[in-house]
Structure 1
Amino acid sequence: MLLTISKVLTGDLLKILCDMGHGDKIAIVDANFPANTNGKRVLQFPGIKADDLLKAILPLFPLDHVPEYAARLMDMDPKDKAAGMREPELWGIFSRIVSECHPGKRTGFVPRDDFYAWARDCYAVIQTGEERLYGNIILAKGVVK
């Protein structure tokens, strides 16, 4: 273990975060996400909630300043919306964590099917044990100033 670094971060994850370059993306996904189908590099964190992992990563991870949204959430499927599904609780939690760690940064949305395509293009997919629905977020790495 290391001082001031969350105990949920492993050496493998820290190496991935360090090796990523400006504009590279990382997906933090829930337990239902088809990570091995959609990820080039997949790390498994089955005992960790997605928001806990996001809280551990963001203090170490510069968010990109180029896109309007450096953090993107998977939007609800139109069928879920039509069925009256309520907004996933994690959306608000993720947005709060992003803005607390990186003031001025906001979260945007990616349609569900597009999110899968984006995940295939990510540097890595980090699968958590998150069971709350739509617990998926993609982060774009910025530069260290």
Structure 2
Amino acid sequence: MLKGIPEVLSPQLLKILDEMGHGDEILLADANYPVESAGMKNGSYVVRADGIGMVEILEAILKLFPLDTFSDYNIALMTPEKGEPEIWKEYEKIFISSSEEVKFKKFSRFEFYDLAAKSYAIVATGERALYANIIMKKGVIK
């Protein structure tokens, strides 16, 4: 056990977050995302976080994970054909309360899948909200 590490971050996920370098991306996937087949196709690590919601895991990761400030985006979202997912309001609150400079970019479903295929790792959450998937690009410690 370690002090100050959020409980929802497993040892495997902590190791992966630490191994990632500047510019590497991690996909936080909702419960509907095809994580296992996506991970097998592109060789990404797949970390199970079943039963943990996206808000909880996102808050925990942001305590340790610097976002890239050198690229045109550091957060990628999958957009639905109509409207905006309710969970995005929760994400906005989390990002506002973080000390990170956030640059969002929205991608259509299939553009998002193409981008996600390049992810270093995929975290399979238990989130049931639709279009809750997020790709985060790692930055540097200042």
| TM-score relative to the length of structure 1 | 0.89
- Asked whether the equivalents of residues 25 and 140 of structure 1 are also in contact (C-alpha less than 8 Å), the reply is yes
- Asked whether the equivalents of residues 99 and 106 of structure 1 are also in contact (C-alpha less than 8 Å), the reply is no
Structure 2 portions without partners, runs of 5+:
none
- Is 1:92 the equivalent of 2:96? no
Name the residue aligned to 1:33: 33
- Is 1:135 the equivalent of 2:115? no
Distance, in Å, in 1 between the alignment partners of 2:33 and 2:89 is 20
Runs of 4+ in structure 1 off by over 3 angstroms are: none
| TM-score relative to the length of structure 2 | 0.91
Name the residue aligned to 1:126: 123
Q: Deviations over 1:50-84 (max 9, x none)?
A: 111000000100000112321111111x3xx2xxx
Q: 1:19 to 1:32 in 2, by over 3 A?
A: same
Structure 1 letter corresponding to 2:33: F
Structure 2 letter corresponding to 1:120: A
* Cα distance, 1:106 vs structure 2: 3.5
Higher helix share: 1
RMSD after superposition: 1.3
Structure 1 portions without partners, runs of 5+:
none
